[in-house]
Amino acid sequence: MVTSPSDENRIETFKRFLTDPATHGVSNSEVAEPIETHGAIVVLAGERAYKIKKPVKFPYMDLSTRELRRRICRREIEVNRRTAPEIYLHVAGISERDGRLRLIPDIGSDPDAEPVVVMRRFDLSRTLDRVVETETLSPALCNALVDEITALQHAATVHRGRSGGDRILGILDMNANGLREGARTILDEESTERLIAAARREGDRNVPALDRRGRTGRIRRCHGDLHLGNIFLDETGHPVLFDAIEFDEDLATIDVAYDLAFLLMDLLHRDMWIAANRIWNRWLERSLGRQGDDGAAALMPLFLSMRAAIRTEVGAAKATQRPAEETLRDEPRAYLVEALDYLAPASGQVLAVGGLSGTGKSTLARALAPHLGVAPGATILRSDAIRKRLAGVAETERLAAGGYSRDMSARVYGTLHRRAGFQAKAARAVIADAVYARATERRRIRAVAQRAGVPFTGIWLDMPVADAKSRVAARSGDVSDATPEVVERQAAFTQAPGDWLILDARQPTDDLVGQVLDHMNRTRRY
């Protein structure tokens, strides 16, 4: 809420000043309509964007004094230069000396000036929330997006002063207050209370896991507001993260998986499961730690629900402020249903995809994953990626012969099976992507599912050796180091398993996916 009528009049004066083309020396056509949020006004003029903070005070954001606004504007430049240094330029000021308003380039030159964040203007039609209205997110764009997110998270400051459980329970309490406010006017009260209770149960149950993640460095100063609207594509089509939380360090100091969950939830809300699953699996392969981040999979239902709950309460507040627009009520109600669905009971399953190198195991695994398990779909564990991670090298770096020793291979399969078991026990669907040439390895992955008490499905991709060798020879920049000679050696001692579904790998991927899903339906494993 705005702190006083005089403050409201003052901010209107500043808005008129910034929307005057004469202030910037541009034509009328170069100044766009101001963009207003509950806490800021953004004016687009010429090649620049000017943001002023409203003199408001909310439980989670205090901008009530000029000194607070100056500090937070400086912080906005600082935190967003981590990912968008070419966009966030400096803090200017609106000076009121000599009875007139002037835009001064340096806020430090006038202690009484109103702070203005100055940014380089970019095409708002290229924010991802608008892009996905007409386009799908390509695999290359999904990969680039994850690389930007993980680069930020890996470089972010680690915080261990407050436990992971305490942080999440605190957010749940805030969510509960906001949801109950919405239930007074917009939301179904019974559904709202069910969500609050279910989320709290899930939060309480996971306190030990959340605390453990804090101790292992997964609570960091993240972006904090990582939804589609806060990502844009630059002139080259590369994703840029912007508008990170600057007004509350505690709200932005969160579990890295909770940071990612906002983006995943935003995609899932739009039924973009393929993009969400690809981003999820690439993030897991690039997550913190040499052993991966399986704990994130166990917590993702809670994190997705929390993000949907935030959208619910924000949407409800907006609908309450504009009661004449009845259609505004639909979206928060839809988010409420989704938030509950994320917390519904689930069960795990293990699916293994085997075959000679070059038969398309990873392609099939990626195509299957969005169809399996609960949001955001199945986790894919690739033996090739695990091998490179254990060796401490980049995915595309070729390993020496020692990287494929019998001992190293045993370590790779052991890691894959341990991680698959953890995820299956956590009610996740998991796909094990490996050659599985040896019967002992196939028995072990089946035993993983048996110990977890979940269904197992084995898929074997079959194709003539010459075709597999040709595919391998054509690869470039792939995680697999297999060569045509490796395929030849594999074929010499490999026999297709009689108890797995055997498919002709030369078929189109969509046909293979359909056959696998039909098989799982018939055997009641899907």
Instruction: Give the pLDDT score at 3.
Output: 58
Average pLDDT score, the chain: 91
Mean pLDDT lowest among 33-42, 63-72, 377-386, 421-430: 33-42
Tokens 């541009």 -> residue: 26
Q: What is the pTM of this model?
A: 0.91
| Cβ within 8 Å of residue 169, ≥6 positions away | 200, 203, 204, 207
Task: Assess whether 377 and 464 both reside in one domain.
Answer: yes
Task: Assess whether 380 and 261 both reside in one domain.
Answer: no
Instruction: Give the pLDDT score at 5.
Output: 64
Helices 406-425 + 294-321 axis angle, to 10: 40
Task: Assess whether 275 and 398 both reside in one domain.
Answer: no
What number of other Cβ atoms are within 10 A of residue 468's Cβ? 25
Whether the Cβ atoms of residue 281 and residue 379 lie closer than 8 Å to each other: yes
Which secondary structure element, helix H or strand E, spans residue 24, and what is its range?
helix 21-24
CA angle 281, 361, 143 (to 5 degrees): 30
**Amino acid identity for residue 307 in this structure:** R
Q: Tell me: the pLDDT tens digits for 301-324?
A: 999 999 999 999 888 877 777 777
**Number of domains present in the structure of the chain:** 3
Alpha helices in 256-360 (DSSP H): 256-269, 273-285, 294-321, 330-342
CATH number of residue 204's parent domain: 3.90.1200.10
CATH number of residue 99's parent domain: 3.30.200
Q: Which residues, in sequence order, are bridge partners of residue 313?
A: none
Task: Assess whether 187 and 325 both reside in one domain.
Answer: yes
Tokens 């990912």 -> residue: 83
Q: Please classify residue 428 by burial: count the beta carbons closer than 10 Å to its beta carbon, then call 0-12 exposed, 13-18 middle and 19+ buried.
A: buried
Token digits for 424?
Answer: 């299956």
pLDDT of 74 over the 90 cut: yes
Task: Assess whether 456 and 426 both reside in one domain.
Answer: yes
Task: Assess whether 243 and 362 both reside in one domain.
Answer: no
Task: Assess whether 177 and 308 both reside in one domain.
Answer: yes
Task: Assess whether 39 and 172 both reside in one domain.
Answer: no
Residue 29 is classified by DSSP as: G
Helix (H, G, I), strand (E, B) or coil at 261: helix
pLDDT of 6 over the 80 cut: no
Task: Assess whether 442 and 507 both reside in one domain.
Answer: yes
Task: Report cis status (omega within 30 of 0) of the bond before 34.
Answer: no
pLDDT of 85 over the 90 cut: yes
Task: Assess whether 99 and 170 both reside in one domain.
Answer: no
Q: End of a domain among 92, 121, 150?
A: 121
Select from 383, 495, 391 the least CA-distant residue to 435.
383
Task: Assess whether 230 and 360 both reside in one domain.
Answer: no
Instruction: Give the pLDDT score at 171.
Output: 93
Instruction: Give the pLDDT score at 524.
Output: 67
Rounded CA gap, 494 and 265, in Å? Answer: 42
Task: Assess whether 382 and 417 both reside in one domain.
Answer: yes
Instruction: Give the pLDDT score at 131.
Output: 96
Token digits for 1?
Answer: 């809420």
Q: Tell me: the pLDDT tens digits for 252-301?
A: 999 999 999 999 999 999 999 999 999 999 999 888 766 678 889 999 99
What number of other Cβ atoms are within 10 A of residue 36's Cβ? 11
CATH number of residue 477's parent domain: 3.40.50.300
Q: End of a domain among 311, 342, 373?
A: 342
Domain that holds residue 314: 128-342
Q: End of a domain among 103, 121, 139?
A: 121
Whether the Cβ atoms of residue 38 and residue 2 lie closer than 8 Å to each other: no
